[in-house]
């Protein structure tokens, strides 16, 4: 019964902010909030380890007229705040209680019987706090006006969409506006509180009033203004919140409810909460994978310095720092590279059969994810005996960490220089290859190059050099992963096993056939005057056609094998690339050439793909796809001859079920290019019938991977994206692709624009105007 209950929780809680209503631990709330929730004297308080976010300089009350004509009344002291939204009556419709010292907020509403209380974090690092009303430039109009009896200067702000806002600047109560500049954006997730940031705009400055026109991507026209400001201490307004219904939505508790059994040293990285009994009982028992003990016990550190020259020809030294710790059965490997790869964390416990891995790219608008899994699929089999190269000694010596090292060179372009000591030391790289995951090893490749076959461990390889090497017992390193979104693959495995028992409903058909479609490949009927263009697939091997995949297909199911590198992709619930892109395609098949562009936008859970081509309507590429991971739906829009838009919606597939291979591995070639200012690796996939040459930005996640991970196959969207022709099993965003199928199609894809960062929510609303962008 406990397993069934946890399975229900897991199936209905795919992401950090979509978890179920966990019970609230009252001891974790500040005493004054405990009293609010219970109506009784506060009990024991487990003081929060969170840092004090801010101390208000303004103590008092104020009132603001909201765009909906409701009024917002504020009360605050140094660390406590109350926001009350009133309509017509004397009691608020909603209230938000905030404690800046404990980083907690109570969102209260009085709809239905009693009060509904949701407990949330106030500030979440890297969550992305987007302002509804913003501006790129601000200019003075020369006019003035009186607001609340104060003379205010009028200024006008203009954003990137040429939408305008008007502000009435003030120098009244500067402490109030300084406080708002800190925490106003943190409230943007809740109701009309999101408009408060318009009164404390970074560029427009403090304002007693702000008006805005209808936004191209955003809210309707509106206005917000102060109607009163009263400094001075007052008692907090009292409202009866009992009886109530409470729901826990703080990330630490949500993470804890979805984290299985971990050894104590690993769990300490996630915070101090005691383990939740349900996922603890549901975690599979550890399995002895036969992985040998680590030969190296101790610590080492390494650095890779890089000189960066900016557009002003100023030189900045950037340093990537590696650190490694290990005992016989545990290890932690970290990389801190804030200017390039971000922060990587990899920890393993061989006895507990568990690995933790995270890649925090450092974006200010993406909550980093921490994945937990068993050791079932670790190990770098292709590493073999190590790096086997032809070395040439150069007779040049240098002392590194007290060891005399001789310079050796090779003919390999990317790994030419090695400083190899005369004495041999235990090489931890040969421990790492036993328990490292393939996709993570690529990010630590500068360190993996230290694993040489038949040679002592080098002290330096190219620009990477050891800064310490200390054998001997040491304590595990300290790491803070409390603000990461945790995904325990061991617990999700049960859900996947349940899904495997359901036979997939598959129909093989031309992706533009107007007949009935099922699952996630629903494409609307359309009239196409030109002959259909086949999308050639490289030959499917016998092994691939048997299929294995994440869906666990066996003989006779007709499902293509899922490359192991893409397994985590199929299990992802959010997008890795957040931003916008514009792609240009040219396809030639015989004497027929087609050209079209694709505009793409995504946030963490949604994607929109809009195809355009310069042809009379209707045409095959004048269509759009809107994908919503959270809702589990895909909507296909088609632009008809009269410029009207028809749409159909269907569910996204729940698991991988492609009958054709969805991606192909490629090999790294020498050389690199800068495309759109991005250093791009040269890669090649080649078999007798197919050749694909790609330039890849390895620092940017692939939007093609996100689309494939959401849909679980290519299907109809292949008309626009040419997914199998473009997509590699390796990470990175393809910036330029040259594809050729012998005797068939030749295709080129180029990225014209690529802009990571937050996008306007309006882009996900597809109308006929969407094709005019």
d(CA 571, CA 469) in angstroms, rounded, equals 38
Q: What is the pLDDT of residues 153-194, one digit of tens each?
A: 999 999 888 899 999 999 999 999 999 999 999 988 767 888
DSSP string for residues in 623-637? EEEEEETTTTEEEEE
Cα end-to-end distance, the chain, whole Å: 53
Q: What is the pLDDT of residue 610?
A: 95
Q: What would the two tokens of residue 476 be?
A: 């595990």
Q: Report the predicted TM-score, pTM, of the whole model to 2 decimal places.
A: 0.65
Per the CB < 8 A criterion, the answer to whether 97 and 32 are in contact is no
pLDDT at 505: 46
Give the model's pLDDT for residue 211. 95
> Which residues are within 8 A (CB) of 749 and not within 5 positions of it... i.e. 6 or more apart?
583, 584, 585, 722, 725, 726, 734, 736, 737, 739
| pLDDT on residue 35 | 94
Query: What does the DSSP 8-state code read for residue 522?
Result: -
Give the integer Cα–Cα distance in Å for 741 and 688.
Answer: 9
Query: Tokens 């290890």 — which residue?
Result: 331
Q: 415, 430 in Cβ contact below 8 A?
A: no
The pLDDT score that the predictor gives to residue 58 is 97
Give the per-residue pLDDT at 431: 95
d(CA 497, CA 7): 11
Domain residue spans of the chain: 20-137+172-213+220-248, 270-488, 513-772
Please list the ranges in the chain whose pLDDT falls under 70.
1-22, 190, 310-313, 494-495, 497-558, 773
Which residue spans within 472-589 are E strands per DSSP? 485-488, 579-589
Task: Fill in the DSSP letter of residue 744.
Answer: S
Residue 666's Cβ-count burial label (10 Å; 0-12, 13-18, 19+) is buried
Q: Which residue has the tokens 């995270």?
A: 358
d(CA 598, CA 595): 10
What DSSP state is assigned to residue 196? G
Angle value at C-alpha 551, between 549 and 553, nearest 5 degrees: 70
Q: What is the pLDDT of residues 680-730, one digit of tens each?
A: 999 999 888 889 999 999 999 999 999 999 999 998 899 999 999 999 999
Q: Find the Cα–Cα–Cα–Cα dihedral 48, 53, 59, 65, rounded to 10°.
A: -110
């Amino acid at each position: 019964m406990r397993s069934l209950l946890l399975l229900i929780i897991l199936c209905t809680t795919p992401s950090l902010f979509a978890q179920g209503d966990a019970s609230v631990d009252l001891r974790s709330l500040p005493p004054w909030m405990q009293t609010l929730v219970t109506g009784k004297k506060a009990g024991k308080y487990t003081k929060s380890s969170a840092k004090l976010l801010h101390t208000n300089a303004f103590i008092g009350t104020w009132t603001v007229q909201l765009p909906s004509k409701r009024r917002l009344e504020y009360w605050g002291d140094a660390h406590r705040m109350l926001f009350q939204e009133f309509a017509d009556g004397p009691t608020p419709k909603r209230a938000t209680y905030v404690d800046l010292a404990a980083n907690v907020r109570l969102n209260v509403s009085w709809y239905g019987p009693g009060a509904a209380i949701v407990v949330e974090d106030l500030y979440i690092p890297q969550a992305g706090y987007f302002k509804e009303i913003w501006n790129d430039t601000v200019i003075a109009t020369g006019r003035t006006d009186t607001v609340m009896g104060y003379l205010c200067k009028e200024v006008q702000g203009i954003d990137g969409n040429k939408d305008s806002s008007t502000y009435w600047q003030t120098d009244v109560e500067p402490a109030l506006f300084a406080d708002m500049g800190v925490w106003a954006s943190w409230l943007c997730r809740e109701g009309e509180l999101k408009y408060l940031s318009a009164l404390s705009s970074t560029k427009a400055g403090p304002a007693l009033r702000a008006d805005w026109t209808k936004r191209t991507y955003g809210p309707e026209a509106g206005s917000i203004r102060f109607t009163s400001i009263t400094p001075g201490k007052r008692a907090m307004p009292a409202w009866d919140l009992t009886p109530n219904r409470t729901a826990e939505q703080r990330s630490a508790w949500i993470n804890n409810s979805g984290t299985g059994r971990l050894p104590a040293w690993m769990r300490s990285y996630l915070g101090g909460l005691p383990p939740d009994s349900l996922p603890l009982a549901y975690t599979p028992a550890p399995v002895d994978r036969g992985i040998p003990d680590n030969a190296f016990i101790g610590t080492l550190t390494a650095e890779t310095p890089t000189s960066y020259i900016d557009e002003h020809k100023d030189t900045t030294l950037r340093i990537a720092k590696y650190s490694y710790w290990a005992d016989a059965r545990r290890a932690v490997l970290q990389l801190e590279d804030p200017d390039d790869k971000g922060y990587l964390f990899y920890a393993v416990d061989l006895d507990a059969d568990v690995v933790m891995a995270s890649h925090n790219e450092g974006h200010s608008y993406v909550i980093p994810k921490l994945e937990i899994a068993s050791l079932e699929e670790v190990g770098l089999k292709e590493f073999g005996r190590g790096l086997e190269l032809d070395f040439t000694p150069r007779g040049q010596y240098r002392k590194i960490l007290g060891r005399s090292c001789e310079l050796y060179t090779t003919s390999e372009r990317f790994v030419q220089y090695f400083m190899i000591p005369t004495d041999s030391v235990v090489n931890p790289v040969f421990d790492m290859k036993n328990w490292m995951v393939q996709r993570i090893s690529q990010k630590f490749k500068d360190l993996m190059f230290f694993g040489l076959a038949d040679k002592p461990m080098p002290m330096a390889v190219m620009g990477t050099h050891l800064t310490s090497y200390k054998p001997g017992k040491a304590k595990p390193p300290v790491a803070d992963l409390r603000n990461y979104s945790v995904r325990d693959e061991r617990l999700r495995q049960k859900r996947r096993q349940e899904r495997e028992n359901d036979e997939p409903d598959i129909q093989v058909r031309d992706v533009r056939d107007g007949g009935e479609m099922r699952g996630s490949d629903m494409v609307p009927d359309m009239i196409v005057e030109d002959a259909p263009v086949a999308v050639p697939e490289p030959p499917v091997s016998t092994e691939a056609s048997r299929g294995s995949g994440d869906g666990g297909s066996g003989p006779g199911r007709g499902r293509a094998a899922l490359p192991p590198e893409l397994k985590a992709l199929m299990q992802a619930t959010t997008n890795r690339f957040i931003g916008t892109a514009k792609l240009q395609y040219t396809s030639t098949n015989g004497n027929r050439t087609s050209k079209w562009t694709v505009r793409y936008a995504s946030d963490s859970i949604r994607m929109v793909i809009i195809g355009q081509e310069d042809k009379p309507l209707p045409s095959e590429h004048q269509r759009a796809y809107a994908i919503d991971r959270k809702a589990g739906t895909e909507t296909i829009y088609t632009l008809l001859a009269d410029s009207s838009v028809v749409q159909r919606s269907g569910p996204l597939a729940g698991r991988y079920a492609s009958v054709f291979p969805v991606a192909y591995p490629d090999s790294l070639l020498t050389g690199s290019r800068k495309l759109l200012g991005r250093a791009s690796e040269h890669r090649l996939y080649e078999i007798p019938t197919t050749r694909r040459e790609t330039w890849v930005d390895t620092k940017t996640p692939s939007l093609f991977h996100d689309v494939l991970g959401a849909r679980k196959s290519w299907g109809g969207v292949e008309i626009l994206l040419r997914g199998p022709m473009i997509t590699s099993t390796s990470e990175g965003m393809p910036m330029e692709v040259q594809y050729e199928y012998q005797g068939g199609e030749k295709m080129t894809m180029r990225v014209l624009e690529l802009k990571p960062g937050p996008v306007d929510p309006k882009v996900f609303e597809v109308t006929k105007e969407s094709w005019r962008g």
